[in-house]
């Protein structure tokens, strides 16, 4: 294999990798989606929310997800006054399409309705979160490939080395930076977990059992960081540093720190 055929092979591999994010046909979801939209337009928000939920489950069973389904489900839940469920749905949509301005706009609007202490992403977390986890992975992989392609070109055509030096250094820096971002994303994706309160009368307790002393009250829609688990109970902390235990049925869990 000569050098030119090697480059061609590598380029094809990179192209295949970057287009590997699966996008499948959504024809099967259109029926329940349209039906739920019709119920929403008629003001039947509860039925619409059920319809969106059913479509989301159908998509999950098929191994796919639709950000639009989550977005519309969030709207229906908000119309029902379920701030926590609406926030959870918008955040699921934002995980799939992190730069969708409509999703971000509605999420910000509903978050503003929530009372009491809540955990909000820091500026750097928001910046890192502007890429989905798979997007961050592909970006890092792309820079990684470019780095080694450039290094390989310098070996094959040493005469190009002076001209490639600047771009190579830039690409290496970009690889390191995107790798660091990916590391943060990985930690957040696999280790961090947040929860949204979906119960209007949630009360954090001092321990993971029903007879524990009340610790503090939580409002519907409050976002919490999950610290620990014990059976069906979750130890959480709110934005003001208070720590308590809540049963899992009063929360909706979401990935991310």
Partner 1 sequence: MLLALVAGCFCWGWTASAITFTATLDRNSIAVGETATLSLTFQDGAPDGTPALPPIDGLDIAYEGPSTQTSFVFNGATTENTSTTTHNFAVTAKKPGTYQIPALSIEINGVRLSSQPLTLTVTGSGAPTAEEMNNGSQVAFVKLVLPKKEMYVGETAVAELQIWLRDDVINFGNLQLPNLTADGFNLGKMSMRPRSRAQAGNRLYTIAPVAITVTAIKSGTLTLGPLTAQMTIVLAFNGQNGDPLQRFFNQGERKDITLNSDTYNVQGLNLPPNAPAGFTGAIGRFQMNVAEGPTTVNAGDPITLHVRIQGSGALDTVKMPDLSGWNGFKIYPASAKTESSDGQGLEGTKTFEEIVTPQNADVRAIPAFSFAYFDPERRQYQTLSQAAVPIVVHAAGALPMPSATTTVKTTDNPAAPADILPVKQDLGPVIATGTPLLLRPGFLAWQSLPVLAFLAALIWRRRTDSLANNPRLRRQRAVVQLVQAGMADLRKFAGENNSEQFFATLFRLLQEQLGERLDCPASAITESVVDDRLATLKAQPATLAALRELFQLCNQARYAPVRDPQELAAVAAKFETAARELQALKV
Task: Report the site for partner 1 in 123-152 (rule: CB under 8 A).
Answer: 123, 126-127, 130, 133-134, 137-138, 141, 144-145, 147-149, 151-152
CB nearer partner 1, residue 145 or residue 233: 145
Two tokens at 14? 């990179």
Cα angle 72, 126, 109 (rounded to 5 degrees) comes to 40
Q: Do residues 196 and 221 touch, judged by C-beta distance below 8 A? A: yes
Contact between 189 and partner 1 (CB under 8 A)? yes
The whole-angstrom separation of Cα 128 and Cα 150 is 27
**Among residue numbers 56 through 85, which ones bind partner 1 (CB under 8 A)?**
59-60, 63-69, 71-72, 75-76, 78-79, 81
Interface size with partner 1, residues (CB under 8 A)? 76
Nearer to partner 1, 151 or 215 (CB): 151
Under rule CB under 8 A, residue 155 binds partner 1: yes
Query: 68 vs 234, which CB is nearer to partner 1?
Result: 68
Tally Cβ neighbours within 10 Å of residue 49. Answer: 26
Which parts of 168-187 interact with partner 1 (CB under 8 A)? 182, 186
Q: Say how far apart CA 38 and CA 175 lie, in whole Å.
A: 47
How many Cβ atoms sit within 10 Å of the Cβ of residue 22? 8
Distance CA 97, CA 133 (A): 11
Q: Does 114 bind partner 1 (CB under 8 A)?
A: no
Binding status of residue 233 toward partner 1 by CB under 8 A:
no
């Amino acid at each position: 294999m000569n050098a030119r055929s090697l480059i061609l092979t590598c380029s094809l591999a990179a192209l295949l990798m970057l287009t590997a994010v699966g996008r499948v046909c959504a024809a099967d979801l259109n029926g329940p989606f349209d039906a739920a939209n019709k119920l929403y337009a008629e003001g039947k928000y509860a039925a619409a929310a059920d319809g969106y939920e059913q479509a989301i489950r159908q998509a999950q069973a098929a191994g796919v997800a639709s950000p639009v389904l989550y977005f519309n489900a969030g709207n229906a839940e908000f119309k029902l006054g379920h701030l926590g469920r609406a926030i959870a749905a918008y955040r699921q949509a934002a995980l799939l399409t992190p730069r969708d301005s409509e999703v971000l706009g509605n999420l910000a609007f509903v978050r503003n309705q929530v009372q009491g202490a809540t955990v909000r992403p820091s500026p750097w977390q928001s910046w890192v979160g502007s890429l989905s986890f798979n997007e961050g992975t592909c970006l890092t992989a792309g820079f990684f490939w470019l780095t080694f392609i450039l290094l390989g070109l310098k070996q094959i055509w040493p005469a190009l080395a002076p001209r490639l030096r600047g771009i190579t250094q830039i690409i290496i820096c970009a690889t390191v930076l995107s790798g660091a971002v990916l590391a943060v994303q990985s930690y957040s994706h696999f280790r961090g977990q947040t929860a949204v309160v979906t119960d209007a009368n949630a009360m954090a307790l001092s321990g993971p059992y029903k007879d524990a002393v009340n610790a503090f009250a939580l409002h519907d829609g409050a976002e919490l960081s999950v610290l620990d688990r014990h059976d069906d109970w979750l130890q959480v902390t709110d934005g003001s540093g208070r720590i308590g235990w809540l049963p899992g049925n009063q929360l909706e869990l979401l990935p991310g720190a």
